Structure 1
């Protein structure tokens, strides 16, 4: 009997387990009014009831109802329900959040004391949610302890510990930390095995310091009882019993009825193993106090305890006295339970039905709104369709006419395209002959020049002629591009060696060294077109390489493709040009490192050739300098 908190298996409505009932009453008293001056509780209740009808402020009136509900349960537990119900109804009407939360909390107390743990859990949980919404941290801590208390009564130790732990952690953040003394007390009493002796003493000292700071006489007495019980358990029986006696004197002097009774009963239980007669004296003292305060529950418990003692001792006279007392108290309890006009279970069930009905009504309202919205939108859509129907018919006719016109225009363009291709072919052919003749004549003249200036001019003519022929070839390639189906097995390394041999003189002129590290492989390609691609890429590498640099050709294999890497140490590709270098007539063209011209066609044609082979071409700038072009060709 060393603690006065909740025990498992409680059911007030159908059994006489008086110990748990008594301890519940004491726990609730400590839990919810522990910071109230103990000798002023009854006076406060009388004062609030007297002034209730005079209160004009609606919110303060609700607070007074909730306070009465909290204080009156010692006198009449059913009144706790009545006042909490009334406070809740008024708070709901005025949408007063704190009033609703306090009323839910009081309903939780009522159902707990009535032994309905599931309903207690429901109302305590609802109260916790409300307190969280209004950020009432002290009451959130209290609600966490309420939930822990109910879970402990349901023998769910894991959840009970979790809620006590949450209360402990949140309570430490409070600036006004008066509630922490109760939190610590609960923690230690409910879960003593979670703390070693030193930790337990430290926590009790902390709780005592908080209670002293806030002059909380109720908690100080309760902590004395806890300390005394610990002493007795540790074998310091004499010191513990002395401290319990002192705690009884303090509690009686402070008019703490339930606390006094619990300590007196605790003292009697300790004495049962030492001095039974003295223990019965304490039980009788507690019984007299319970009868004076009209507490049937505690009176019933103590009468049964004293009766059992006399019956076991063979004292039939005293056993008869207390058996009659016990029978009378039991009949009084039954009469109260039978005549109580409060159908609290019906209230809870009706509340659940109302909540369900509200939810159903909300869903029905949403569905009705959606249905009406769809009907309205449908009506508007029909009106708009009807209004614009004639316009749509007219537009449809216009579209048909425009389509016929566009088809005619397309045929004309196709004919014009064919004519343009034919003309381009003729012009290119006619231009190639004079340009070739001019270039050949200039080459012949270079074999026998009189002056250095003439040699320079003739060289320029030869270069311009070659560039012009190259540009004509590129134009024809773009204009008459085809899909290259005439593929044959070709040794790629042979093509690379041929390209290097042709371009070696141009590379040596810039002192550029070409290194071929390609692995031999035979691929199905159009030999001429792939030679054109490789030649173009290597030419560009030479064109944009710095003197005394290296061009490296490497290869790699994937499961289905073959990759050719052409790596130079030149000037790289500017970031702003990276997305344009494969475009036809790109504006990204620029001169080489020795002033070589670019026409902006080569890479675009390379891309077309590679894609016609089912492959791809890309590039990346090297980390230090230069760029790498990657050609990927399928193996089959």
Structure 2
């Protein structure tokens, strides 16, 4: 088996050695010759794909010099047969390795980056199907990092968010999985490309959202998205007549999912009809999926006490599972067979089947337990942080070069001044010329002063050097939290860890003050609970000034980036405390509206003068004022808050009277 897995990569190497003698004018791809075979294969049903692949292979044998892209597209079809038709994921992984080898030397060029990224995701998919989730996560993360670094077409990156959804789904974190599938679906609809691939992804995401809500026990929401998936397929299937078989298969999958939900709702007759309707279609194109559907139908027959029908169906399914192994379906088959044998008083045989079930389940549980404990969000954030650090390091090198140039210019100016002074003492004959040089020198000094101000600003923005000690502090706290700690000490350590994370994000935003950050990652968050946590953290600061924080919040779930919105709320409340006298009240409210939520922070502080009101969000230095206890202000907080709110498609504004207090408002769109 080990030798066979290397045959295809070695074959690729031999091909490229043999084709190296051809003219350098040979093209990497020849769609004018091969496209007709690609189209023939892509429009074939599953049972016809092997024959279509053989036609493509014959075309390759007769063509004198296929290029790199030609070979990649051929291997793509080889992998498709192994993965979907034969469900041989080991073979599919071997072909994926060949695709990686083809593009390895050119992966950093934009024209080939998308091919290499696709091959990385294919290999991750194989590991995912083999239940080797850690390896799947590794290849998914590598693929996404390469896509972010080398691919400029952001629409081609959209689909990759749904892979996070699959990983969270495997961890049974269905609410997070639903949010990733939902975001992917919305972004797919907003992309200008409108092709068959988009159609496949959107209908799949709608169905996946329904499955997540079904697992959460929210049957109404699940049924809504199942119906949306069916409606979307019906409305768009006529646009792709060559893939009509896929539309029928996609509907059958949704029918099977709806049947499971109807069964849980004890609507057995409707569930039976849906299972049969699904199996009639998939039995012709996807026998592996059909076996899973038939196992579910057998379980339904046992619930309906149709034991003979259940026994017959389980016998049929066992034959399918022996030829097309399906681990999850096999576990359910053992469990249902045991239940059926107990009901028919065959307890001795039932005990043997139950032992086989327990043995298989134990091996699956041991393998999955490690992946279930993985913090996927932390891993992806770490990966994105590394990419950001690399970009900042490169940017820092450019700034250092500018600084060296500025110092060199300064030394040259000093040398000129000394030379002029020396010449002035030596000869009065050059007074007129020196006066002219004096004017040039003054201009140089003015330019130098302006350059000095800009460099001071650059050095202030280069505060990212603070990230190293803060990151070290967060890692140390993380190590302490992994050990057993008293409850009070653990609470303090968790607060320090959260504060370190927020500080790192703030430094990143300061460093990127003049350019848009990477796309804001959002999740479904209870805004009221987030607001409560912010108020609790700010209460200690208010207690120092004997101030009272009053919170009235209505429950509201919205899609947002928790850390960024937490920073906005914390900054507004902190400003209210900073600019309010001791012993005053600060009122904080959260109101749920029809399509948005409104946050209001009202204080009794010093207010905002009229001359500052149109500058408060632009971070000018003249707007910086001291707090009522002499607290310093840097004029950056509200400008950053405005950018974060606008990234969330929200609004931020204020009402204020000088000397009588201020009211700040933040309105964010709610989840529709």
TM-score range, shorter chain: 0.3 to 0.5
Which one scores higher on RCO, CA 8 angstroms, separation ≥ 6?
1
Which of these two proteins has the greater Rg computed from alpha carbons? 1
Q: TM-score, normalised by structure 1?
A: 0.43
Q: TM-score, normalised by structure 2?
A: 0.41
